[in-house]
Structure 1
Amino acid sequence: MRKTAPKKRRWSSGGLAAKQFSAKMANNEKCETKPEQSEKNEVLEELNSQKRKFDKIAEKLQSIEETVSKIAKLNDDEEKSMMKFKEQIESLEKSNLLNDRSNEKLVTRKSFVVKYVFENLEKYKFDISKEEEHFSMNWHMEMQKNNGYLGIYLFAEPIPPFNDDWSIEAKLEFKMIGKNNSSVIKTGEGIFEGLDGNGFDDFLKWEEMREDYLIDNKLTVEVNVEILKRTGFGKNNIREFDESQKEVSDVILVVQDTKFYVQKMYLALQSSYFKALFFGKFNESEKSEIELKDIEADDFQNFLELIHGESSVDDDTVTGILNLADMYDSPTAIRRCEEFLLKKSKKSTVQKLQLALRCNLEHLKNKCLSKITTISDIKSIMAANLPEMDLSTSQALLQKSLGFWDE
């Protein structure tokens, strides 16, 4: 993948150079050809596909229930053996609490999808997507013809506040969707800084793009982005947890080389995770300095401010705070984030729904579903390909789609 040279204007119309990184291409050809169908039929097919997937899960759950019902019929001796076994399992679960939570609840990765349907590429040999806001950044794609090849690039522009030396390291997956559901994928890692972008000068041969991927003069492209590291971002701290708090703290939590001086008892009251960490039978319980891995210092700062009563939640911080609140099982922080998303947030319905599904926010999920009033609304949700989509939400969308069909 290549990194684009700095651009003098935000909407440059050509002359893009790019820094190539090592990439792998995968062509996934499917045998079945999808017939032409209306917009409503497409949505119904997608939702039915989701339903079929969940039906299979339901069958497995029913099988498990039947097994459980058989266990319930065991005689007294067998029941005692089962209870003893259950106690052993619970004991093992408690002893592995921290590792389990780290594996199952660590959802603090900053990932999202930028997707766009280009319509002017064939005519002008160059096109720009609309901007999308994710994690305090405006993201957009640019495409152009390069010496017989299609070049594709992703750009990011920070939203204040940020430092002049900001940078983002990210893992990128560029995907183009063509006829008969064929696709071409290239992946790699890149660094965004200044006006630089990342992408491929030779993503695909121009003629191959025209023949196999251009449908009714439209080209569908998406980029899956996972932010690995960010520097030069963040607001001014509302409350300090630095060495100035040393005298009133009894433990130091280290996140990305930043030390946070906090009180064990206060965090334990706010979070079952920290209660287990500080007062459970773990090696960490006796340590005066503990490292918290795989989270960002800025997110943890905002999380601490929130549980200490500060108003640190806004559209830039809510995702990071909510991910930590869910990971650390902090009901107060979860509730305050949900209240913000319900009443004040300007995030899109799709973004809110994703957070609601990820963190089991029922009130927020119900509000998001109530905002869906057209087929286009459902299409935007299905196009987002939310990995958190559950059975009840899929069924609700299907029901709404059928209702629109009858209108």
Structure 2
Amino acid sequence: MAANEESSMRIRPEPESTIPLENNQVTEETGEIAGAGDTSNAALLVEIKKLRSELIATTEENRKKQDEMLQKFESKMEDMKKGVSEKLQSIEALTSNDKPEKSDSTRNVASSKPVKQFKLKHVFEDSNKFQENVSNFSLDEDHDKVNWYINLMRRNNHLGFYVGCEPIAPADDKWSIRTITEYKVVGRKKNDVMRTCENCYQTDEGWGFSKFLDWEEMNKYCLADGKLQVEAKVTIIETTGLGKRKIRKFDESQEDVSDVILVVRDTKFYVSKMYLAAQSPIFKTLLLGNFSESKQSEVKLNGIDPDDFHYFLELLYGESAVDGNVMRAFFQGRSGTTGPKVPTF
């Protein structure tokens, strides 16, 4: 029985080599799976390659779409920012238009930015012979109707260096000029000495340094044949009370004695047609001629500065072009000496 059982059993022969499934390798060169000879694996590999290529193409397309969407979004954001900025500017413009005009006391105040910059230069003769506490002035220089000068003096064995100014015809008794001034003594062999300070002029007194430079050092390093060259670079920051004083009024207070209003920018001038026509042929043609303006109660004049037109009307109404302040400034001055300036004719 044992023999029969043994003869009826079939023994499956072992293969020469066994390759585990997890160790199978796909070779791209042949498209076969190492360790297996089934041809269906090659078709599977081709399908995998195809799917992989499609996946890469889809990913690239999605990335491009994302980039396009991002660019569109950024463009819309920029347009929104621009629109908001324009609206804010419009609001600011409307707000500024509603602000009241500056009063007469602040109308001549300049902005915080420098309104003018200039340089004063002068060579003082026989500087080594300066007397103690005696002023030595340069010639006056006119900058925007303000006379500027340099004043040097010997004080306690030091060189005093000052810069002064005086308005020729201030519009107000209370005037001021705020400056930043750079004082400079030109030395030999570029041994220059410089100092800077901020000043506020309210009178014709000078501002500067009483001990700008030691007297012996000045003689040793700066003098050349007794001559001393100095400079002052003046930067005007703010001014008040300057300009020509307006003598006559042409505002609403003259409405009862006027028959026409001349409008220059936003300024209205209440005047008499007949008087202006008698003084100027241009006004005679404009106000009494065959023009539409002759029948209007308000006539607008373009391309004219209101202040200049005001002074022009003052001349037509018989006011002097030179007031007392101008005359006083004309007869006062320095001209390099401590005495008054004498006019020559």
- Which TM-score applies when normalising by structure 2? 0.40
Structure of higher RCO (CA pairs closer than 8 Å, 6+ residues apart): 1
Higher helix proportion, which one?
Answer: 1
